[in-house]
């Protein structure tokens, strides 16, 4: 008799909303992602990747294939989701680039021309 091999589906979420985190953890995640952005701006990509990994472990999100997280800065609903950066949709509002998660982009896509 052959044994069946079953793989377990990951139970970690693909995105996290900051209001589901304690304020201390949300603050730590914001600090880590802010630091990661600063390192990326200076092309210090190894340091940026390390900070993203720390944020991923801290919030318990499923590690995205890209290894990078993004924060939804949608000006329509302010959801603030933290998610896989490869799935981010961006738009310009003047000279400021804003990010929408997939849900916001599907429900109320913004272009900056509103």
Banded model confidence at residue 107, pLDDT cuts 50, 70, 90: confident
For residue range 11-32, what is the model confidence (pLDDT) as tens digits? 788 889 999 999 999 999 999 9
- Helices 45-59 and 23-41: angle between axes, nearest 10 degrees: 160
Cα–Cα distance measured from residue 33 to residue 49, given in angstroms and rounded to the nearest whole number: 10
The residues with which 97 forms a beta bridge, in sequence order, are: 92
- The pLDDT value recorded for residue 3 is 59
For residue range 71-97, what is the model confidence (pLDDT) as tens digits? 999 888 888 999 999 999 988 888 888
- The pLDDT value recorded for residue 47 is 96
User: How confident is the model over 39-52, as a mean pLDDT?
Assistant: 95
Rounded to two decimals, what is the model's pTM? 0.79
CB 22 within 8 A of CB 41: no
Cα–Cα distance measured from residue 59 to residue 33, given in angstroms and rounded to the nearest whole number: 12
């Amino acid at each position: 008799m052959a044994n069946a091999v079953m793989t377990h589906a990951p139970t970690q979420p693909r995105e996290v909303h900051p209001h589901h985190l304690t304020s201390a953890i949300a603050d730590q995640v914001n600090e880590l992602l802010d630091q990661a952005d600063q390192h990326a701006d200076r092309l210090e990509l190894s340091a940026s990747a390390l900070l993203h990994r720390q944020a991923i472990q801290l919030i318990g999100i499923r590690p995205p294939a890209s290894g990078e997280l993004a924060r939804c800065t949608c000006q329509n609903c302010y959801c603030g989701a933290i998610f896989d950066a490869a799935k981010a949709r961006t738009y310009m509002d003047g000279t400021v680039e804003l990010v929408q998660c997939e849900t916001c982009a599907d429900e109320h896509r913004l272009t900056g021309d509103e």
